Structure 1
Protein backbone atom coordinates (compact mmCIF):
# COMPACT_ATOMS: atom_id res chain seq x y z
CA UNK A 1 0.00 0.00 0.00
CA UNK A 2 1.38 3.42 -0.94
CA UNK A 3 2.46 5.96 1.66
CA UNK A 4 -0.10 8.44 0.30
CA UNK A 5 -2.95 5.99 0.77
CA UNK A 6 -1.81 5.15 4.29
CA UNK A 7 -1.76 8.85 5.13
CA UNK A 8 -5.29 9.25 3.81
CA UNK A 9 -6.50 6.34 5.90
CA UNK A 10 -4.92 7.92 8.96
CA UNK A 11 -6.66 11.22 8.27
CA UNK A 12 -9.99 9.40 7.85
CA UNK A 13 -9.50 8.01 11.34
CA UNK A 14 -9.11 11.55 12.66
CA UNK A 15 -11.75 13.32 10.54
CA UNK A 16 -15.01 13.65 12.44
CA UNK A 17 -17.06 13.65 9.23
CA UNK A 18 -15.94 10.12 8.30
CA UNK A 19 -17.97 7.31 9.88
CA UNK A 20 -16.09 4.04 9.49
CA UNK A 21 -15.20 0.78 11.26
CA UNK A 22 -13.09 1.30 14.35
CA UNK A 23 -14.93 4.41 15.47
CA UNK A 24 -17.42 4.13 18.32
CA UNK A 25 -20.05 6.10 16.42
CA UNK A 26 -19.96 3.52 13.58
CA UNK A 27 -21.93 1.07 15.72
CA UNK A 28 -24.26 3.71 17.17
CA UNK A 29 -25.19 5.89 14.21
CA UNK A 30 -28.32 4.07 13.03
CA UNK A 31 -31.29 6.29 13.85
CA UNK A 32 -28.98 8.89 15.35
CA UNK A 33 -27.49 10.81 12.42
CA UNK A 34 -29.20 14.07 13.34
CA UNK A 35 -28.50 13.81 17.06
CA UNK A 36 -24.97 12.35 17.09
CA UNK A 37 -23.39 13.54 13.84
CA UNK A 38 -25.06 16.75 12.67
CA UNK A 39 -26.58 17.96 15.95
CA UNK A 40 -29.65 19.36 14.20
CA UNK A 41 -32.97 18.12 12.85
CA UNK A 42 -32.41 18.93 9.17
CA UNK A 43 -33.47 16.48 6.42
CA UNK A 44 -30.93 13.82 5.49
CA UNK A 45 -29.88 13.30 1.86
CA UNK A 46 -27.78 10.25 0.99
CA UNK A 47 -25.62 9.64 -2.09
CA UNK A 48 -24.74 6.01 -2.84
CA UNK A 49 -21.40 5.03 -4.39
CA UNK A 50 -20.29 8.62 -3.86
CA UNK A 51 -16.66 8.01 -4.86
CA UNK A 52 -14.61 11.14 -4.20
CA UNK A 53 -17.66 12.95 -2.90
CA UNK A 54 -17.84 15.77 -5.44
CA UNK A 55 -21.60 15.52 -5.74
CA UNK A 56 -22.21 15.15 -2.01
CA UNK A 57 -20.09 18.21 -1.23
CA UNK A 58 -21.56 20.16 -4.14
CA UNK A 59 -25.10 19.58 -2.91
CA UNK A 60 -24.08 20.53 0.63
CA UNK A 61 -22.83 23.89 -0.63
CA UNK A 62 -26.10 24.60 -2.40
CA UNK A 63 -28.44 23.37 0.35
CA UNK A 64 -27.12 24.28 3.81
CA UNK A 65 -30.57 23.55 5.22
CA UNK A 66 -30.05 19.81 4.56
CA UNK A 67 -27.54 17.23 5.81
CA UNK A 68 -25.66 15.17 3.22
CA UNK A 69 -24.07 11.74 3.58
CA UNK A 70 -21.92 10.09 0.91
CA UNK A 71 -21.65 6.30 1.10
CA UNK A 72 -18.73 4.36 -0.37
CA UNK A 73 -16.54 1.43 0.63
CA UNK A 74 -13.30 3.01 -0.62
CA UNK A 75 -11.65 5.01 2.14
CA UNK A 76 -9.10 6.65 -0.15
CA UNK A 77 -11.96 8.02 -2.25
CA UNK A 78 -14.11 9.49 0.50
CA UNK A 79 -10.98 11.09 1.98
CA UNK A 80 -11.15 13.64 -0.84
CA UNK A 81 -14.69 14.80 -0.12
CA UNK A 82 -14.08 14.68 3.61
CA UNK A 83 -11.04 16.97 3.47
CA UNK A 84 -12.74 19.42 1.10
CA UNK A 85 -15.76 19.67 3.40
CA UNK A 86 -13.51 20.29 6.40
CA UNK A 87 -11.44 22.90 4.54
CA UNK A 88 -14.62 24.75 3.55
CA UNK A 89 -16.18 24.48 6.99
CA UNK A 90 -19.17 22.50 5.74
CA UNK A 91 -20.79 21.08 8.84
CA UNK A 92 -23.65 19.44 6.89
CA UNK A 93 -21.47 16.78 5.21
CA UNK A 94 -20.50 13.30 6.38
CA UNK A 95 -19.20 10.15 4.74
CA UNK A 96 -20.07 6.58 5.65
CA UNK A 97 -17.56 3.89 4.73
CA UNK A 98 -19.48 0.68 4.18
CA UNK A 99 -20.87 -1.60 1.50
CA UNK A 100 -24.18 -0.38 0.14
CA UNK A 101 -25.88 -3.74 0.68
CA UNK A 102 -25.41 -3.09 4.43
CA UNK A 103 -27.28 0.23 4.34
CA UNK A 104 -30.00 -1.06 6.68
CA UNK A 105 -27.41 -1.38 9.45
CA UNK A 106 -26.78 2.37 9.43
CA UNK A 107 -30.14 4.03 8.71
CA UNK A 108 -33.39 3.63 10.58
CA UNK A 109 -36.82 3.44 8.98
CA UNK A 110 -37.76 6.80 7.49
CA UNK A 111 -34.42 8.40 8.38
CA UNK A 112 -33.54 9.38 4.79
CA UNK A 113 -35.40 12.22 3.04
CA UNK A 114 -33.77 11.90 -0.40
CA UNK A 115 -31.55 9.33 -2.06
CA UNK A 116 -29.13 9.86 -4.95
CA UNK A 117 -27.77 6.98 -7.05
CA UNK A 118 -25.09 8.53 -9.24
CA UNK A 119 -23.24 6.68 -12.00
CA UNK A 120 -23.16 3.23 -10.42
CA UNK A 121 -21.51 0.21 -12.01
CA UNK A 122 -24.03 -0.97 -14.65
CA UNK A 123 -23.25 -4.69 -14.21
CA UNK A 124 -24.48 -5.37 -17.77
CA UNK A 125 -24.48 -9.19 -17.65
CA UNK A 126 -27.85 -10.76 -16.85
CA UNK A 127 -26.28 -12.86 -14.13
CA UNK A 128 -25.22 -9.69 -12.32
CA UNK A 129 -28.67 -8.09 -12.17
CA UNK A 130 -28.90 -8.44 -8.37
CA UNK A 131 -25.74 -6.34 -8.01
CA UNK A 132 -27.26 -3.32 -9.77
CA UNK A 133 -28.10 -0.55 -7.32
CA UNK A 134 -31.49 -0.15 -8.98
CA UNK A 135 -32.43 -3.84 -8.93
CA UNK A 136 -35.60 -4.98 -7.11
CA UNK A 137 -33.48 -6.20 -4.19
CA UNK A 138 -31.97 -2.77 -3.62
CA UNK A 139 -35.20 -0.85 -4.26
CA UNK A 140 -36.91 -3.01 -1.63
CA UNK A 141 -34.09 -2.17 0.78
CA UNK A 142 -34.28 1.57 0.14
CA UNK A 143 -38.05 1.84 0.45
CA UNK A 144 -38.45 1.60 4.25
CA UNK A 145 -35.38 3.77 4.87
CA UNK A 146 -36.82 6.71 2.91
CA UNK A 147 -39.47 8.93 4.43
CA UNK A 148 -42.93 8.59 2.94
CA UNK A 149 -42.98 10.63 -0.23
CA UNK A 150 -39.18 10.95 -0.21
CA UNK A 151 -37.42 11.32 -3.53
CA UNK A 152 -34.98 8.97 -5.30
CA UNK A 153 -32.70 10.45 -7.98
CA UNK A 154 -30.82 8.30 -10.48
CA UNK A 155 -28.17 9.53 -12.96
CA UNK A 156 -26.17 7.40 -15.38
CA UNK A 157 -24.49 7.52 -18.76
CA UNK A 158 -25.37 3.88 -19.41
CA UNK A 159 -28.43 3.53 -21.64
CA UNK A 160 -28.91 -0.16 -20.84
CA UNK A 161 -28.96 0.42 -17.10
CA UNK A 162 -31.21 3.44 -17.45
CA UNK A 163 -33.78 1.63 -19.61
CA UNK A 164 -33.66 -1.38 -17.26
CA UNK A 165 -34.33 0.88 -14.27
CA UNK A 166 -37.05 2.91 -15.98
CA UNK A 167 -38.87 -0.23 -17.12
CA UNK A 168 -38.58 -1.67 -13.62
CA UNK A 169 -39.97 1.30 -11.72
CA UNK A 170 -42.79 1.75 -14.22
CA UNK A 171 -44.00 -1.78 -13.50
CA UNK A 172 -43.96 -1.31 -9.72
CA UNK A 173 -47.28 -0.30 -8.21
CA UNK A 174 -45.53 1.35 -5.27
CA UNK A 175 -43.47 3.77 -7.41
CA UNK A 176 -44.43 7.05 -9.05
CA UNK A 177 -42.12 8.30 -11.80
CA UNK A 178 -41.76 12.09 -11.59
CA UNK A 179 -39.12 12.82 -14.25
CA UNK A 180 -37.31 10.73 -16.85
CA UNK A 181 -35.03 11.92 -19.65
CA UNK A 182 -32.40 10.32 -21.86
CA UNK A 183 -30.63 13.68 -22.30
CA UNK A 184 -30.55 15.55 -19.02
CA UNK A 185 -28.47 18.51 -20.20
CA UNK A 186 -30.83 19.17 -23.08
CA UNK A 187 -33.86 18.95 -20.79
CA UNK A 188 -35.86 21.56 -18.89
CA UNK A 189 -34.53 20.17 -15.58
CA UNK A 190 -30.79 20.67 -16.17
CA UNK A 191 -30.53 23.75 -13.94
CA UNK A 192 -31.99 21.89 -10.95
CA UNK A 193 -28.59 20.27 -10.31
CA UNK A 194 -26.68 23.57 -10.29
CA UNK A 195 -24.01 22.28 -12.67
CA UNK A 196 -22.65 19.86 -10.04
CA UNK A 197 -20.92 16.93 -11.74
CA UNK A 198 -19.01 13.92 -10.51
CA UNK A 199 -15.61 13.03 -11.95
CA UNK A 200 -17.19 10.28 -14.05
CA UNK A 201 -20.02 12.49 -15.27
CA UNK A 202 -17.48 14.98 -16.59
CA UNK A 203 -15.55 12.19 -18.34
CA UNK A 204 -18.68 10.73 -19.93
CA UNK A 205 -19.97 14.14 -21.02
CA UNK A 206 -16.63 15.03 -22.61
CA UNK A 207 -16.83 11.80 -24.62
CA UNK A 208 -20.21 12.85 -25.96
CA UNK A 209 -22.27 10.49 -23.83
CA UNK A 210 -25.77 11.73 -23.02
CA UNK A 211 -26.55 11.76 -19.31
CA UNK A 212 -29.79 10.03 -18.31
CA UNK A 213 -31.81 11.11 -15.30
CA UNK A 214 -34.71 9.55 -13.44
CA UNK A 215 -36.59 10.96 -10.47
CA UNK A 216 -39.20 8.91 -8.64
CA UNK A 217 -40.75 8.33 -5.25
CA UNK A 218 -42.30 5.48 -3.38
CA UNK A 219 -46.02 6.17 -3.14
CA UNK A 220 -47.72 7.26 0.03
CA UNK A 221 -50.15 4.86 1.67
CA UNK A 222 -53.36 6.11 3.27
CA UNK A 223 -54.91 4.81 6.49
CA UNK A 224 -56.83 2.10 4.60
CA UNK A 225 -53.64 0.76 3.05
CA UNK A 226 -54.43 2.11 -0.41
CA UNK A 227 -51.64 3.75 -2.38
CA UNK A 228 -51.98 7.41 -3.34
Structure 2
Protein backbone atom coordinates (compact mmCIF):
# COMPACT_ATOMS: atom_id res chain seq x y z
CA UNK A 1 0.00 0.00 0.00
CA UNK A 2 3.04 2.28 -0.08
CA UNK A 3 2.01 5.66 -1.54
CA UNK A 4 -1.40 4.38 -2.66
CA UNK A 5 -4.06 7.08 -2.38
CA UNK A 6 -6.96 5.78 -0.31
CA UNK A 7 -10.10 7.90 -0.10
CA UNK A 8 -12.27 6.99 2.88
CA UNK A 9 -15.72 8.52 2.48
CA UNK A 10 -17.06 8.60 6.01
CA UNK A 11 -13.58 8.48 7.49
CA UNK A 12 -14.60 9.81 10.90
CA UNK A 13 -16.84 6.86 11.82
CA UNK A 14 -15.66 3.92 13.86
CA UNK A 15 -14.96 1.71 10.85
CA UNK A 16 -13.61 4.51 8.65
CA UNK A 17 -11.19 5.82 11.26
CA UNK A 18 -9.94 2.30 12.07
CA UNK A 19 -9.29 1.71 8.36
CA UNK A 20 -7.46 5.04 8.11
CA UNK A 21 -5.11 4.21 10.95
CA UNK A 22 -4.34 0.70 9.68
CA UNK A 23 -3.79 1.69 6.06
CA UNK A 24 -1.58 4.61 7.05
CA UNK A 25 0.73 2.20 8.88
CA UNK A 26 1.14 0.34 5.58
CA UNK A 27 2.31 3.53 3.85
CA UNK A 28 -0.90 4.59 2.15
CA UNK A 29 -1.77 8.25 1.71
CA UNK A 30 -5.10 8.64 3.49
CA UNK A 31 -7.86 11.08 2.54
CA UNK A 32 -10.48 11.44 5.28
CA UNK A 33 -13.58 12.76 3.54
CA UNK A 34 -16.42 13.57 5.92
CA UNK A 35 -19.09 16.03 6.92
CA UNK A 36 -17.54 16.40 10.39
CA UNK A 37 -14.45 18.32 9.32
CA UNK A 38 -13.26 18.99 12.87
CA UNK A 39 -13.14 15.28 13.68
CA UNK A 40 -11.57 14.48 10.31
CA UNK A 41 -8.84 17.05 10.96
CA UNK A 42 -8.18 15.53 14.39
CA UNK A 43 -7.80 12.00 12.97
CA UNK A 44 -5.57 13.26 10.15
CA UNK A 45 -3.37 15.10 12.67
CA UNK A 46 -3.09 11.98 14.80
CA UNK A 47 -1.98 9.94 11.77
CA UNK A 48 0.52 12.57 10.62
CA UNK A 49 2.00 12.92 14.10
CA UNK A 50 2.54 9.16 14.11
CA UNK A 51 4.54 9.35 10.90
CA UNK A 52 1.71 8.65 8.46
CA UNK A 53 0.35 10.67 5.57
CA UNK A 54 -3.21 11.93 5.83
CA UNK A 55 -5.35 14.94 5.17
CA UNK A 56 -8.98 15.83 5.72
CA UNK A 57 -11.49 17.23 3.29
CA UNK A 58 -15.14 18.20 3.45
CA UNK A 59 -17.74 15.83 2.05
CA UNK A 60 -21.52 15.86 2.11
CA UNK A 61 -22.53 12.72 0.23
CA UNK A 62 -26.02 14.12 -0.39
CA UNK A 63 -24.66 17.20 -2.20
CA UNK A 64 -23.37 16.61 -5.73
CA UNK A 65 -21.26 19.77 -5.75
CA UNK A 66 -19.57 18.69 -2.52
CA UNK A 67 -18.88 15.21 -3.90
CA UNK A 68 -17.30 16.48 -7.11
CA UNK A 69 -15.34 19.18 -5.31
CA UNK A 70 -13.86 16.54 -3.02
CA UNK A 71 -12.77 14.24 -5.84
CA UNK A 72 -11.38 17.06 -7.94
CA UNK A 73 -9.38 18.38 -4.98
CA UNK A 74 -7.90 14.94 -4.31
CA UNK A 75 -6.82 14.57 -7.93
CA UNK A 76 -5.38 18.09 -7.94
CA UNK A 77 -3.43 17.55 -4.71
CA UNK A 78 -2.43 13.88 -4.98
CA UNK A 79 -2.78 13.08 -8.67
CA UNK A 80 -4.83 9.89 -8.38
CA UNK A 81 -7.24 7.75 -6.38
CA UNK A 82 -6.21 4.11 -6.05
CA UNK A 83 -8.83 2.95 -3.54
CA UNK A 84 -12.29 4.21 -2.61
CA UNK A 85 -13.79 3.00 0.65
CA UNK A 86 -17.43 3.99 1.12
CA UNK A 87 -17.60 3.77 4.90
CA UNK A 88 -20.49 6.18 5.42
CA UNK A 89 -24.15 5.44 6.06
CA UNK A 90 -27.07 6.04 8.35
CA UNK A 91 -29.33 3.54 10.04
CA UNK A 92 -32.99 2.85 10.67
CA UNK A 93 -34.35 -0.14 12.57
CA UNK A 94 -38.05 0.47 13.13
CA UNK A 95 -41.36 -1.20 12.45
CA UNK A 96 -42.80 0.09 9.21
CA UNK A 97 -45.77 1.80 10.89
CA UNK A 98 -43.35 3.76 13.10
CA UNK A 99 -41.26 5.00 10.17
CA UNK A 100 -41.30 8.74 9.50
CA UNK A 101 -41.32 9.05 5.68
CA UNK A 102 -39.01 12.07 5.90
CA UNK A 103 -36.47 10.03 7.88
CA UNK A 104 -36.84 7.16 5.42
CA UNK A 105 -35.97 9.50 2.55
CA UNK A 106 -32.86 10.59 4.46
CA UNK A 107 -31.75 6.96 4.79
CA UNK A 108 -32.18 6.39 1.07
CA UNK A 109 -30.53 9.70 0.20
CA UNK A 110 -27.41 8.93 2.23
CA UNK A 111 -27.08 5.18 1.76
CA UNK A 112 -28.20 4.87 -1.85
CA UNK A 113 -27.92 8.22 -3.61
CA UNK A 114 -24.78 9.12 -1.67
CA UNK A 115 -23.12 5.85 -2.64
CA UNK A 116 -24.05 6.36 -6.27
CA UNK A 117 -22.74 9.94 -6.40
CA UNK A 118 -19.46 9.32 -4.57
CA UNK A 119 -18.70 6.19 -6.56
CA UNK A 120 -19.57 7.83 -9.88
CA UNK A 121 -17.32 10.79 -9.13
CA UNK A 122 -14.33 8.62 -8.22
CA UNK A 123 -14.89 6.19 -11.09
CA UNK A 124 -14.32 9.05 -13.55
CA UNK A 125 -10.68 9.02 -12.50
CA UNK A 126 -10.28 5.26 -12.02
CA UNK A 127 -11.72 4.55 -15.46
CA UNK A 128 -9.31 7.00 -17.07
CA UNK A 129 -6.42 5.23 -15.34
CA UNK A 130 -7.93 1.78 -15.96
CA UNK A 131 -7.16 0.84 -12.39
CA UNK A 132 -8.73 0.99 -8.95
CA UNK A 133 -10.47 -0.79 -6.11
CA UNK A 134 -13.76 0.05 -4.42
CA UNK A 135 -15.00 -1.29 -1.08
CA UNK A 136 -18.67 -1.18 -0.13
CA UNK A 137 -20.39 -2.01 3.15
CA UNK A 138 -23.91 -3.29 2.48
CA UNK A 139 -23.73 -5.04 5.83
CA UNK A 140 -25.46 -8.28 6.66
CA UNK A 141 -28.83 -6.52 6.35
CA UNK A 142 -27.99 -5.98 2.69
CA UNK A 143 -27.90 -9.76 2.30
CA UNK A 144 -30.46 -10.98 4.83
CA UNK A 145 -33.36 -9.17 6.49
CA UNK A 146 -34.59 -9.14 10.05
CA UNK A 147 -37.60 -7.80 11.87
CA UNK A 148 -37.98 -3.98 11.56
CA UNK A 149 -35.19 -3.63 8.99
CA UNK A 150 -37.42 -2.90 5.98
CA UNK A 151 -36.20 0.61 5.12
CA UNK A 152 -32.57 0.05 6.07
CA UNK A 153 -32.39 -3.31 4.28
CA UNK A 154 -33.96 -1.75 1.19
CA UNK A 155 -31.15 0.82 1.10
CA UNK A 156 -28.44 -1.76 1.66
CA UNK A 157 -29.80 -4.26 -0.86
CA UNK A 158 -29.66 -1.35 -3.29
CA UNK A 159 -25.96 -0.81 -2.52
CA UNK A 160 -25.25 -4.50 -3.17
CA UNK A 161 -27.19 -4.47 -6.46
CA UNK A 162 -25.52 -1.24 -7.57
CA UNK A 163 -22.08 -2.70 -6.92
CA UNK A 164 -22.77 -5.98 -8.70
CA UNK A 165 -23.96 -4.08 -11.76
CA UNK A 166 -20.77 -1.99 -11.72
CA UNK A 167 -18.72 -5.19 -11.84
CA UNK A 168 -20.43 -6.04 -15.12
CA UNK A 169 -19.96 -2.51 -16.43
CA UNK A 170 -16.42 -1.60 -15.41
CA UNK A 171 -14.30 -4.52 -14.22
CA UNK A 172 -13.27 -6.18 -17.49
CA UNK A 173 -13.02 -2.97 -19.49
CA UNK A 174 -11.41 -0.72 -16.89
CA UNK A 175 -9.73 -3.14 -14.46
CA UNK A 176 -11.64 -1.92 -11.40
CA UNK A 177 -12.21 -4.39 -8.58
CA UNK A 178 -15.10 -4.31 -6.12
CA UNK A 179 -15.42 -5.84 -2.66
CA UNK A 180 -18.70 -6.16 -0.78
CA UNK A 181 -18.39 -6.60 2.99
CA UNK A 182 -21.46 -8.03 4.66
CA UNK A 183 -20.76 -7.21 8.29
CA UNK A 184 -22.85 -8.13 11.28
CA UNK A 185 -23.10 -5.76 14.24
CA UNK A 186 -19.99 -3.61 14.71
CA UNK A 187 -19.31 -1.71 17.91
CA UNK A 188 -19.67 1.89 16.65
CA UNK A 189 -21.91 4.89 17.26
CA UNK A 190 -24.33 3.50 14.65
CA UNK A 191 -26.37 2.15 17.55
CA UNK A 192 -26.73 5.59 19.16
CA UNK A 193 -28.96 6.78 16.33
CA UNK A 194 -32.50 7.41 17.66
CA UNK A 195 -33.84 5.83 14.46
CA UNK A 196 -32.24 2.53 15.48
CA UNK A 197 -34.80 1.13 17.91
CA UNK A 198 -32.92 -1.95 19.03
CA UNK A 199 -31.25 -3.16 22.20
CA UNK A 200 -27.71 -4.36 21.60
CA UNK A 201 -24.73 -5.68 23.52
CA UNK A 202 -21.68 -3.82 22.28
CA UNK A 203 -19.28 -6.24 23.96
CA UNK A 204 -20.55 -9.05 21.74
CA UNK A 205 -20.13 -7.13 18.49
CA UNK A 206 -17.33 -6.98 15.95
CA UNK A 207 -14.44 -4.67 16.70
CA UNK A 208 -13.79 -1.88 14.14
CA UNK A 209 -10.07 -2.68 14.16
CA UNK A 210 -10.79 -6.29 13.13
CA UNK A 211 -13.06 -5.02 10.37
CA UNK A 212 -10.23 -2.79 9.16
CA UNK A 213 -7.99 -5.85 8.84
CA UNK A 214 -10.61 -7.52 6.65
CA UNK A 215 -10.78 -4.44 4.43
CA UNK A 216 -6.99 -4.39 4.15
CA UNK A 217 -7.00 -8.07 3.17
CA UNK A 218 -9.61 -7.36 0.49
CA UNK A 219 -7.75 -4.40 -0.98
CA UNK A 220 -4.31 -6.04 -1.02
CA UNK A 221 -5.20 -9.22 -2.89
CA UNK A 222 -2.51 -9.73 -5.54
CA UNK A 223 -3.60 -9.46 -9.18
CA UNK A 224 -5.47 -10.97 -10.84
CA UNK A 225 -7.38 -11.94 -7.71
CA UNK A 226 -10.28 -9.86 -6.38
CA UNK A 227 -12.10 -10.51 -3.13
CA UNK A 228 -15.67 -9.92 -4.29
CA UNK A 229 -17.65 -10.73 -1.14
CA UNK A 230 -16.95 -11.35 2.54
CA UNK A 231 -19.36 -12.10 5.38
CA UNK A 232 -18.21 -11.45 8.95
CA UNK A 233 -20.60 -11.66 11.89
CA UNK A 234 -20.41 -11.96 15.66
CA UNK A 235 -20.79 -15.58 16.67
CA UNK A 236 -23.60 -14.56 19.03
CA UNK A 237 -26.08 -13.67 16.27
CA UNK A 238 -25.28 -15.14 12.89
CA UNK A 239 -27.59 -14.86 9.89
CA UNK A 240 -26.96 -17.47 7.18
- Contact (CA 8 Å) 2:86, 2:115: kept in 1 or not? no
- Contact (CA 8 Å) 1:50, 1:56: kept in 2 or not? yes
Cα separation, partners in 2 of 1:206 and 1:139, compared to 1, 3 Å: same
Partner deviation per Cα, 1:168-224 (whole Å, 9 max, x = no partner): 222344144754453479xxxxxxxxxxx884489988375678x9979xxxxxxxx
* Matched position secondary structure for 1:116: strand
In structure 1, what is the equivalent of residue 89 of structure 2?
A: 120
- Contact (CA 8 Å) 1:47, 1:118: kept in 2 or not? yes
1:206 aligns with 2:173: no
Gaps of 5+ in 1: 1-40, 186-196, 217-228
1:153 aligns with 2:153: no
2:165 to 159, 168, 171: 171
Cα separation, partners in 2 of 1:122 and 1:144, compared to 1, 3 Å: farther
In structure 1, what is the equivalent of residue 10 of structure 2?
A: 49
Distance 1:98 1:178 in 2: 22
TM-score (norm 1): 0.53
1:129 aligns with 2:108: yes
Partner deviation per Cα, 1:40-92 (whole Å, 9 max, x = no partner): x932111001116343122101x11x2111111213311331332233122x2
In structure 2, what is the equivalent of residue 108 of structure 1?
A: 75
Moved beyond 6 Å, runs of 4+: 201-205, 213-216
Distance 1:73 1:208 in 2: 29
Larger RCO (CA within 8 A; separation ≥ 6): 2
Distance 2:108 2:67 in 1: 19
1:60 aligns with 2:24: yes
In structure 2, what is the equivalent of residue 11 of structure 1?
A: none
TM-score (norm 2): 0.51
Root-mean-square deviation (CA, aligned residues, Å) is 4.0
* Matched position secondary structure for 1:111: coil
Cα separation, partners in 2 of 1:209 and 1:56, compared to 1, 3 Å: same
Distance 2:105 2:191 in 1: 28
1:95 to 35, 38, 56: 56
Distance 1:112 1:143 in 2: 9
Number of aligned positions between the proteins: 161
Identify, as 1 or 2, the structure richer in helix. 2
